[in-house]
Chains A and B, each alone.
Chain A
């Protein structure tokens, strides 16, 4: 047996604990069998308890599986073991949550039985797969978050665990909402979804999407664990993930009424019709729409990773040394995820600006957006350098002020173009302001890194 799984089972799944969980659940379901309405209705109670065991408590257990090792000072000995990264991941993912899964699996038949009864075995099986993958997805996101957060060395394990739990629960809600939305679509008469010019059945598209994102979450855990166990990761897995999310998001261009590949069912009203009219009126090349969608997703990954990653000043200086001495490939191999996302966003943004050259205001807005993004990333870096791990929250506060408070003050002077991207009348000035700030902040970051370099 996987030693990490076995150790976790010893600690988390004692016979007493399992018996207690089973006893309490059977009591709840017995009570539910005599009450037919409200929360005590057995299937509804079982679903609520499944969420409790697999998601609410499960994400906590998954996040703690690493956080506790650090808190109890056993992480170093784990890092020195011969356990491989994937073995360690699934040993922790399913071992630390063993009691949770026991409770969740006790609940599952009570949830699926009514579905089987009403809609047949196929529907029950599908729902079971969704619920199980939902639990694994939530826990994998919590574990992945904990593996990313430990590099930040906040020293506040409760806050770390809470953030990881929030990430896992958020992922579970997103996952479940996406699945639940199928019913709403069906009720509104929509049974297919256009993606890259082809119509797919809603149910199968969602299921495949959810399982693919679950796969990426597990790959993320594996990659983060590799890094912890001192394997060199390289940039390729993150680049593959970026390519995946960019292609995935870009495929939804039909939402804006664009027809590039194939011929999705035409729309005469709603978002698709409005989008088609706007694109037509502004002479925007249809091919640029998927690129814009991909660019937005890539930009989201820049901000997300810039917040989450350690941004270690020593590592930044080391990367600077590699570049200065011409060891570009070495720097590329050691680049942090936010750097790769930034480069990908910059390329996508420049390509978009070129495609939108016929609509100068739109092209300039994209260039301004890239400049402001550069400034914002530098704010995260400076936050880390001046405030340590807590500086990331300080940077968030500064960005909130830049994007929400200051524009309100500048609106009367018609000067919001100085701070935020958007459809401004002074588009060229906005680009200049954005890049002046972006480059100015870059210079500031470089100065701080240089000034703080230890003297030999």
Chain B
């Protein structure tokens, strides 16, 4: 969906991005992580066609940000890290304006505003001025403004900053819903814990470069986690004998890579149970974000 090739961006006296190459998959949530000042926000702004690269190119859905920035804006939603709202306007008017300014006709804008408000859970606040909303509700309104025109791509820069745990959980749920609707999301953050719940892939930006040179799959794939209710000898050997590659092992647990689809997993589980292993968990393994992050960004604990 998003293709970045040899992207270079300079600030006066400082190169922010050094020939970045990256592909971002459609209908997935990609986490953009890295230390402060690594270049995440610059990369997001370049994806949003808000900045012009010094060299290289960014294409979204085949459109070049340098050549067709406005066409890209039509299919894009963007929430900057420090966003503003029209505090004197009601939520309804904020969303109506956002809808109209994204080309939705006057007749449909009202419905689009209400749909976006419902989606982020602020439908009952429609007549409140934006300036009277709490931090979390302002964040939801800002996201509603960004999605009111149902963009294909949503870019979020530090969306959970300053949110309480409940609001973060609601945000995670919302992002997953948007992804399930087919939206491509890129979420930037330097707080790894908040990304773990919903990210499918991770891109580590470090000092203006992509650590490891590509995005990393966090979910899906063929990694399986097997946990036993009680420790039992020979778990690793048993798994190997049944075609699994053992990646991590312990007396009561193992992480394996297993070729094949659902049938292969069902067969392995059946074999474990038949052999008397007290299986308490047999699930697809999600890589711990923090673990992967520090493995890639060496020397930056």
- A-side residues, CB < 8 A to B, are 1, 3-4, 6-7, 10-11, 69, 72-74, 76-83, 229-231, 312-314, 317-318, 385, 452, 454-456
**B19 contacts A456, C-beta separation under 8 Å:** yes
Which residues of A lie under 8 Å from residue B238 when comparing CB positions?
none
**Interface presence of B78 (CB below 8 A):** yes
Q: A7-B97, A73-B82, A452-B12 are in contact. Are A81 and B54 (CB under 8 A)?
A: no
Most interface-central of A10, A79, A82, A313 (chain B CB within 10 A): A82
Q: A218 to chain B: closest CB distance in Å?
A: 21
**Interchain CA distance A231-B12 in the complex, whole Å:** 23
Tell me how far the C-beta of A401 lies from the nearest C-beta in chain B, rounded to whole angstroms. Answer: 26
- Residue pair A456, B15 in contact (C-beta under 8 Å): yes
Task: Given A230-B70, A456-B18, decide whether A10 and B89 contact each other with a Cβ distance below 8 A.
Answer: yes
Does B84 make an interface contact (CB < 8 A)? Answer: yes
Contact assessment for B50 and A80 in the assembled complex, using a CB-CB cutoff below 8 Å: yes
B168 on interface, CB distance cutoff 8 Å: no
Beta-carbon nearest neighbor of A314 in chain B: B10
Q: Are B86 and A74 in contact (CB under 8 A)?
A: yes
Which residues on the B side are within 8 Å of A82 (C-beta)?
Answer: 70, 73-74, 101-103
What are 24 A-B contacts with C-beta separation under 8 Å? Answer: A3-B101, A4-B101, A6-B100, A7-B89, A11-B89, A72-B86, A73-B83, A74-B84, A74-B85, A77-B78, A77-B145, A80-B76, A82-B70, A83-B101, A230-B52, A231-B69, A312-B12, A313-B12, A314-B11, A314-B12, A314-B54, A317-B10, A452-B13, A455-B15
Cβ contacts under 8 Å, A3 to chain B: 97, 100-101
Q: Is the CB–CB distance between A79 and B13 below 8 Å?
A: no
Min CB distance B67 to A, Å, is 8
Report the Cα distance A317→B54, complex, angstroms.
Answer: 10
Chain A nearest Cβ from B21, distance in angstroms: 14
Picked from B10, B86, B87, the residue with its CB within 8 Å of the CB of A454 is B10
The 6 A-B residue pairs with the shortest CB-CB distance in the complex, in nearest-first order: A73-B84, A454-B15, A3-B100, A230-B69, A81-B101, A82-B103
Known interface pairs A72-B86, A77-B98; 8 further A-B residue pairs with C-beta atoms within 8 A, sorted by A's residue number? A3-B101, A69-B84, A78-B101, A81-B101, A229-B69, A314-B10, A314-B54, A456-B15
Report chain B residues within 8 Å CB of A318.
54
B12 close to A76 (CB less than 8 A): no
Chain B residues near A (Cβ < 8 Å)? 10-15, 18-19, 48-50, 52, 54, 69-70, 73-74, 76, 78, 80, 82-89, 93, 97-98, 100-103, 106, 145-146
Query: Given A4-B101, A230-B50, A452-B12, do A80 and B73 touch, yes or no (CB 8 Å)?
Result: yes
* Count of A-B residue pairs with CB < 8 Å: 87
Give bound CA distance, A314 to B54, whole Å.
8
B19: chain A residues within 8 A (beta carbon): 456
Residues of chain B within 8 A (CB-CB) of A4 are 101
Chain A residues closer than 8 Å to B76, beta-carbon distance: 80
Asked if residues B12 and A79 are in contact (CB atoms below 8 Å), the reply is no
- Name the one of B18, B69, B80 contacting A76, with C-beta atoms under 8 angstroms: B80
Q: When A82-B74, A83-B101 are in contact, do A1 and B54 touch as well, CB less than 8 Å? A: no
Q: Are B83 and A77 in contact, with the CB atoms below 8 A?
A: yes
> Residues of B contacting A79 with CB < 8 Å?
50, 73
Residues of A within 8 A of B89 (CB): 7, 10-11
Complex Cα–Cα for A10 and B86 (A):
11
Rounded to whole Å, the gap between the CB of A92 and the closest CB of chain B is 13
- Are B73 and A81 in contact, with the CB atoms below 8 A? yes
Say how far A68's CB is from chain B's closest CB, in angstroms. Answer: 10
Bound state CA distance, A243 and B50, in angstroms?
32
For A69, the chain B residues whose CB sits under 8 A away are: 84
Q: What is the bound-complex CA distance between A341 and B15, given in angstroms?
A: 31
The smallest beta-carbon distance between A310 and chain B, in angstroms, is 11
Is B84 within 8 A of A231, CB to CB?
A: no
Cβ 8 A contact of A230, one of B49, B80, B93: B49
Residues in chain B near residue A314, CB distance under 8 A: 10-12, 54
CA distance A226 to B41 in the complex (A): 24
Q: Which residue of B lies closest to A456 (CB)?
A: B18
Residues of chain A within 8 A (CB-CB) of B48 are 80
Cα–Cα distance between A31 and B76 once the two chains are bound (Å)? 56
CA distance A313 to B101 in the complex (A): 34
Q: Are B97 and A6 in contact (CB under 8 A)?
A: yes
The interface residues of chain B lying within 8 Å CB-to-CB of A81 are 73, 98, 101-102
B78 touches A7 (CB 8 A): no
Question: Does A76 lie within 8 Å of B10, measured CB to CB?
Answer: no
Task: Give chain A residues whose Cβ lies under 8 Å from the Cβ of B15.
Answer: 454-456
On chain A, the residues within 8 Å of B82 by CB distance are 73
Cα distance A80–B154 when bound, in Å? 12
Give A11 to B89 CA distance when docked, in angstroms.
7
Q: Contact check, B70 vs A11: say whether CB atoms are below 8 A apart.
A: no
Residue in contact with A80 in the complex, picked from B78, B86, B88, CB distance below 8 Å: B78
Q: With the chains together, A76 CA to B76 CA distance in Å?
A: 13
Question: Known contacts A11-B88, A456-B15: does B78 contact A76 (CB below 8 Å)?
Answer: yes
Q: In the complex, A72 Cα to B97 Cα: how many Å?
A: 16
- Min CB gap A10→B, angstroms: 6
